[in-house]
Amino acid sequence: MNILVTGGRGLLGEAIFNNAVEEKLYSNYKFIFVDSSHADLTNMEETKKLFNSMKPDYVIHLAADVGGLYKNMTNKVNMLERNLLINYNVVKCCHDFKVKKLVSCLSTCIFPDNIKYPINETQLHNGPPHYSNNAYAYAKRMLEIHSKAYNEQYNDKFICVIPTNIYGKYDNFSIQNGHVIPALIHKCYKAKQMNKPFIVCGSGKPLRQFIYSIDTAKLIMWTLLEYDKLDPIILSVPEKDEVSIEYVATLIAKEFNYENQLKFDWEYPDGQYKKTVDNSKINNYLPDFNFTTIENGIKQTIKWFITNYEEARL
């Protein structure tokens, strides 16, 4: 049985490789990890060739054009168009090539802005997303609609997982375009090198739930092989583990022994204040799942970043 993983060299792809292949947990399956060097998934002909050559039985669709708050705000056309093309081509090829099951990755940032918290899976389309990432959000929402349409018309097993903010080894640590944790890790690293203040854009007050990449990989594999429903499912730490950006920045500064240089620049926008999600659905299925703490996850991520700085995505 072949499992094709798009976006296979990114944060989650590497986590699945680490969990599934290096740990030899799924010996009955052959994993095929692909990235943009194998095919341009915005191009239908290249996507078809990829599926024809790999002949996947299952697909984990992680490939996307992603970034942090400022990339979402300043590159809306690319974020919309590239993600629409990637998702359309992959979903259609999964149907045309008779893939047994497709698991696609969404994000909790695509939920409506004005909504009652905590957010659950049924609220995905109950209003517009936050303006700061609406282009990316609508592209991802269409992926869920596209999957559901194939479920209803053709009985295809196409489902979507909705992870909260993922971080970990092999992330994109770009200060300009990375997500908050990897960008802050790189920023603190550089600030200490140059003996300058570690400046965090914004007030630090917004709240987020963060999930370690290895935990997400385990839950995605469970979804692929065990979850027998077609409804989307949120992958998140519990609401009680929600933390502020200030807390995260402080943890990072402590790991670098640079707390005395931590400062917040209130002139920058904060983005959405909170996106609190309800993880009761996954908790009902896996009540004993042991999530990595934010403290340990950040410690492990920084250790990897320092050791692999020359090869990391910056």
**Which sequence positions are flagged as catalytic?**
136
Closest CA to 89 of 121, 122, 143, 41: 41
Amino acid at residue number 313? R
Cβ neighbours, 10 Å, residue 142: 17
Widest distance between CA atoms in the chain:
60
Tokens representing 205 are 């007050």
Task: Read off the DSSP letter of residue 286.
Answer: -
Whole-number Cα distances in Å, 34 to 38, 190, 303: 6, 31, 26
Closest CA to 101 of 224, 196, 211, 226: 224
Distance CA 237, CA 231 (A): 19
